[in-house]
């Protein structure tokens, strides 16, 4: 993702800055998705691994990047509290 675009993006709920999800955190999320039970804020079960994602500065919400386009809809966010061994 272009660094200039990343500098402009913010969480649609908290308005805090967003950063790229680290590879190790992405592995944790993808493992949790494979195990099932990971849901979006709207309650929809997440299907399919994250190829890339953004995370809020407080590390509480993850937003998918699909085809290089950030999906910054509040209801599409993935709360990190549901991921075992997540470090805030």
Q: Which two tokens stand for residue 22?
A: 């680290």
CA-closest candidate to residue 23, choices 44, 52, 49, 2: 52
| Dihedral sign computed on CA atoms, order 5, 12, 57, 83 | negative
Beta strand segments in the chain, E = 18-20, 53-56, 61-66, 69-70, 78-79
Query: Above 80 in pLDDT, residue 71?
Result: yes
Given a contact cutoff of 8 angstroms between Cβ atoms, the answer to whether 61 and 78 are in contact is: yes
pLDDT digits (tens, 9 = 90+) for 21-70: 999 999 999 999 999 889 999 999 999 999 999 999 999 999 999 998 99
């Amino acid at each position: 993702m272009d660094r200039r675009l990343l500098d402009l993006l913010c969480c649609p709920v908290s308005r805090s800055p967003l950063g790229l999800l680290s590879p190790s955190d992405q592995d944790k999320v993808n493992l949790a998705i494979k195990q099932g039970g990971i849901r979006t804020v709207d309650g929809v079960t997440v299907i399919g691994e994250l190829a890339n994602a953004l995370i809020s500065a407080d590390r509480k919400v993850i937003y998918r990047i699909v085809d290089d386009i950030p999906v910054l809809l509040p209801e599409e966010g993935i709360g990190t509290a549901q991921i075992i061994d997540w470090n805030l």
